[in-house]
Amino acid sequence: MEKRLHGMVERHAEVSALMADPDVISDQTRYRDLSREFSRLESVVQDFHAWERACADRRNADEMAADDDDQELRELARGEAEAAAELAERLEQKLRAHLIPVDPLDDKDIYLEIRAGTGGDEAAIFAGDLLRMYTRYAERMRFKTEIMSKSDGEHGGYKEVIISISGKRPYAHLKFESGAHRVQRVPETESQGRIHTSACTVAVLPEAEEIDEIELRDDELRIDTYRASGAGGQHVNKTDSAVRITHLPTGIVVECQDERSQHKNRDRAKSLLRARLLADERERQDKARAQQRKSLVGSGDRSERIRTYNFPQGRVTDHRINLTVYRLNDILEGDLDQVIEPLRAEYQAEQLGELDIG
């Protein structure tokens, strides 16, 4: 474990030096990525140094307790050794958690989508309750939220609502919320007092990286020139100024013959090709996001659920870890840490169990 931690300390120093490099500072994307890595490593370094100090304090106290002739000082030293040992053990657990492989998506902002499933009007009303819950949680975490799109329910709530959430690592906190959420309660319109069960699906989607530029490699392009057709004077008919570019990996073909200059036509054709490739990449990301959404939320059926909100009993049950909390109102007001933190702890415990860090 110590060997890995020393490597992380060295990487922290390396990243710190890189962030002072003018070339890195001028590259916003790289600087942003390094800043995120530095922030993660900073807490590792702090905990590692604190652990080293606690271990040193324990050794010194043990030596004092063994060597000192004064009974009172020996007792004091034993107490200090026990306290240092407890602190070192707590810090060691934190350090083991630091060694869990970092999810590269944890730092990303997210889109959170809520869709009413089975249950009709009651499902739409519940979707509104979930939106309020996540919005209140975001306020507690000092995240910024913005409604991107919504479709109102006929009697309140939403058939569908999508919000963006940005801030400090929102995906890390909310990534376990994806799935079917079930509610059990007596609707206001229910005259017989019967409990109805409805469901909504939630999808937490990390924001895709911005596509700033599409790189065109010369070995991936076939460039043909030919004589432009149509009016334009005798110069057009005598010069191979028109340009056709084929992007070999995708088979996309673009042409430009608007300019009399072959050089200008080539530049404009490359610009058009970049735009086409950019559109294709965005479409690919949209499809990937749609596929991820489908895998995250299931069908929205009542029987597929990750969590149940039972109003008559005032409880929330997370079925993935068999956790039941009898604080329904607090959770709906945004106190989600009661269910989020046990999920994260379980996830970390599973990952730690897979690590060989002796």
Q: Taking residues 228-246, report their average pLDDT.
A: 64
Distance, in Å, from the CA atom of 205 to the CA atom of 286, rounded to the nearest integer, reads 11
- Closest listed residue to residue 268, CA positions, set 278, 277, 276, 257: 257
pLDDT band at 202 (very low <50, low <70, confident <90, very high): very high
* Longest alpha-carbon distance in the chain: 110
218-287 maps to CATH 3.40.50.300? no
Every domain of the chain and the residues it spans: 2-98, 110-210+300-354, 218-287
DSSP secondary structure code for residue 259 in this structure: S
Express each pLDDT in 157-166 by its tens digit: 999 999 999 9
DSSP secondary structure code for residue 180 in this structure: E
pLDDT band at 268 (very low <50, low <70, confident <90, very high): confident
Rg (CA), the chain: 30
Distance, in Å, from the CA atom of 265 to the CA atom of 252, rounded to the nearest integer, reads 17
CA distances to 83, 182, 211 from 272, rounded to whole Å, are 68, 48, 16
Residue-level pLDDT at 73: 83
Do 300 and 180 contact (CB within 8 A), yes or no?
yes
Domains 2-98 and 218-287 share a fold: no
Express each pLDDT in 321-340 by its tens digit: 999 999 999 999 999 999 99
Do 332 and 204 contact (CB within 8 A), yes or no?
no
Residues 6+ apart with CB under 8 A from 21: none
Three-class SS state of 47: helix
Do 339 and 318 contact (CB within 8 A), yes or no?
yes
Distance, in Å, from the CA atom of 101 to the CA atom of 233, rounded to the nearest integer, reads 65
| 6: exposed, middle or buried (Cβ count in 10 Å: 0-12, 13-18, 19+) | exposed
Three-class SS state of 72: helix
Express each pLDDT in 184-195 by its tens digit: 998 876 767 789
Do 135 and 161 contact (CB within 8 A), yes or no?
no
Q: Give me the residue label for tokens 């404009």.
A: 268
Just give the CATH number of 2-98. 1.20.58
pLDDT band at 304 (very low <50, low <70, confident <90, very high): low
Instruction: Please give the model's pTM, rounded to 2 decimal places.
Output: 0.64
pLDDT > 70 fraction of the chain, expressed in percent and rounded: 88
Q: Taking residues 96-108, report their average pLDDT.
A: 80
110-210+300-354 maps to CATH 3.40.50.300? no
Q: Which H or E run includes 145?
A: strand 144-152
